[in-house]
A and B are shown apart, each in its own frame.
Chain A
Amino acid sequence: MRSLLLCAAIATPLVLSVHSIVSMDFASSIVPGWHTTIFPPYFVAGAIFSGFAMVQTLLIITRKAMGLEAYITESHVENMNKILIATGSIVALAYMTEMFMAWYSGVEYEHYAFMNRATGPYWWAYMIMIGCNVVSSQLLWIKKLRKSLVFTFFLSIVINIGMWFERFVIIVTSLHRDYLTSSWTMYKPTIVEFGLLIGTLGIFFTAFLLFIRIFPVISIFEVKSIMKTGDQHQYETESSHEK
């Protein structure tokens, strides 16, 4: 139990730091649209957002496929949806902050970078991003949708697509038109890039399937320890502790 807590204590800073440092790879540059100080917490919130969405996808399939409905209940899914709406709102707030600050800064390059995102040749990617990340996750305010497994499944896939497009928008729109106008071009993905996309998805799902094949999917040790705490009243009856 102790060691679990310790591992969690180590894993948390890791989760935060990984995406923060990835974001600082972008933000340390001076490319307009990339050089914003909000990137570290924004990327972390986005990572948690897409991570929970991916967990929802896998969770709903796994519980059906392996018959775990009694252990992974609907209230688990509902609670994870609450985290999705929270992180989705944080991501939406970050979008609004970036947009406002791009205008507020008065720097013409930032102005252009954000106008280009919304109205330039990649406006469709930007709209997909906003639609899939912001609009769809806000639907989770409705309790009926939060509890619905079918809706959650489709929403989680939509959110993952949205987050992929967020990375696409950040990278491509800032790179294809930066300071030197003579270098402006359009991004033409080759078969290698598609291969990488499909390949990395494949690696991820292979690893996941191997995991659930080899290891127990649910840690009964932890589940049992949680199930006990319902009826402990040590405060009032310290001496007559019944077991």
Chain B
Amino acid sequence: MDEQFDFKKKYRNILIILMTGGILVSLAVILISKPGASRIWANVLLNNQYFIGLSLGAAFFLAVHRVAQSGWHTLLQRLPDAMTTFLPVAFILMLLIYFGIHNLYSWTDKNLSDKVIEGKRAWLNIPFFFARLVFYFAGWIALTSMIRKNSNTLMTSSDLKYHNRKILFSGLFLVFYGITVSASSWDWIMSLDAHWYSTLFGWYVLIGMFVTSLAFITLLIWFLKRLGYLKYIRPDHIHDMAILIFAFSIFWTYQWYAQYELIWYGHLPEETSYYITRLHHFKIIFFINLGINFSVPFFGLITINSKRQIGWVAIIAAIVLMGHWIDYWLMIMPATAGDKAGIGVLEVCMTLFYASLFIFIVLRSLSTGPLVIKNDPYIEESLNYES
């Protein structure tokens, strides 16, 4: 129970090679085939959003479980905690958007004589955009680090007040997160189609974030178990993770349908423009997106036995992770890169870079402390958990 993850040199080197390889090949592709600035910056935005989603979704997972006083997840706490350490790096990567902001967002063009965008100027202007960005990250980083700090202090002292503070900060985080994840998705993704709007968009992105985080945590569990750690994580815990992936994939599909059906049925030009672009020019990916993110978790995890085998759940989790990447791709690419959009070497390499960076930071953070939290009042319950 006192085990610590040993971030071996072998893994460090593999990840660093993947990172540098990803960046170098991307640069090569940019120089050789000149995909256009919008596509490059769209990739940056896409990967930023995806990996911020992983971190925030992990924090959300922890916060919700702690506020609900659930016991089963206690043994797993360190993994999502480690995922939230990516946020400061994500902040710096998001700030890079400043250099590509004119290639991404059409509303940044001051000479645009567009009545609709003029009406939104109070919200969509560059200073306020960055002020909001700083505000979101300040809150996220502050709250997640307070939660992590209390978690770590709890491991060395036995004072329950740290546990209670953890729950308090988790509650505060939930409130802040609810508001800011909606607002950040409006800022960063919805405003790409500056004329379009959808009230559900913030919640749709939220659930996408949550599902990807669940899938990533599950993959992390599989990885660590393969290396021989986490022997006390039993099929019962995997069962619960699989249930969550199953349920929230269905919820994601429900939101996808709600947004699509209402816009389709209303047939208002200001709303349908979003779906017309995606249905007419990106039809195959559009339906692959829906197919993967619904059918794979639904039919793959519907039986009880399938939910208890870590190998199978890990496969489904990996597919879900790729499926939601495609979901973000569909949200971002058609609006920015338009004709030049595609899934090619550039996309793969940039995602590889981000993924290796993310995994590197997560594993490094995991190795700085024991894999299981100590002195948490719910550990016994988690150890004996039967599902």
Contacts and interface: CB of A to CB of B under 8 A. Distances in A.
> Is A bound to B?
yes
Interface of A: 13, 16, 20, 24, 27-30, 35-41, 82, 86, 89-90, 93-94, 96-98, 100-101, 104-107, 232-235
Given A28-B262, A40-B258, A98 B199 contact: yes
Interface centre among A20, A105, A234 (most CB of B within 10 A): A105
B258 A235 contact: no
A93 B266 contact: no
Contacts of A233: 384
Interface residues of B, number: 37
Interface in B176-202: 178-179, 182, 186, 195, 197-202
Contact of A101 (B116, B199, B265): B199
CB-based closest 5 A-B pairs:
A38-B199, A37-B200, A40-B258, A36-B199, A106-B119
Interface centre among A38, A96, A98, A100 (most CB of B within 10 A): A38
10 contacts: A24-B261, A35-B262, A37-B201, A39-B262, A82-B67, A93-B179, A106-B119, A106-B120, A233-B384, A234-B386
Nearest to B234: A235
Interface of B: 67-68, 115-116, 119-120, 123, 175, 178-179, 182, 186, 195, 197-203, 232, 250, 254-255, 258-259, 261-263, 265-268, 270, 383-384, 386
A96 B115 CA distance: 24
A237 B115 CA distance: 72
Given A16-B254, A28-B265, A104-B123, A96 B179 contact: yes
Contact of B199 (A20, A37, A86): A37
Nearest to A42: B199
Contact of B261 (A28, A89, A106, A234): A28
A20 B254 CA distance: 9
A107 B262 contact: no
Contact of A27 (B179, B186, B262): B262
Contacts of B120: 104, 106
Given A98-B199, A234-B386, A40 B254 contact: yes
B194 to A, nearest CB: 10
A106 B119 CA distance: 6
A41 B119 contact: no
A89 B266 contact: no
Contacts of A97: 182, 199, 202
B258 A37 contact: yes
Given A24-B261, A37-B199, A37-B262, A93 B178 contact: yes
B231 to A, nearest CB: 12
Nearest to A232: B384
Contacts of B178: 89-90, 93
A39 B120 CA distance: 23
A30 B268 contact: yes
A89 B268 CA distance: 30
A105 B196 CA distance: 7
A133 B384 CA distance: 40
Nearest to A40: B258
Given A94-B199, A104-B186, A234-B384, 5 more contacts: A16-B254, A38-B203, A97-B199, A235-B232, A235-B384
B262 A24 contact: yes
A55 to B, nearest CB: 18
Contacts of A39: 258, 262
A106 B262 contact: no
A219 B197 CA distance: 48
A19 B254 CA distance: 13
A170 to B, nearest CB: 13
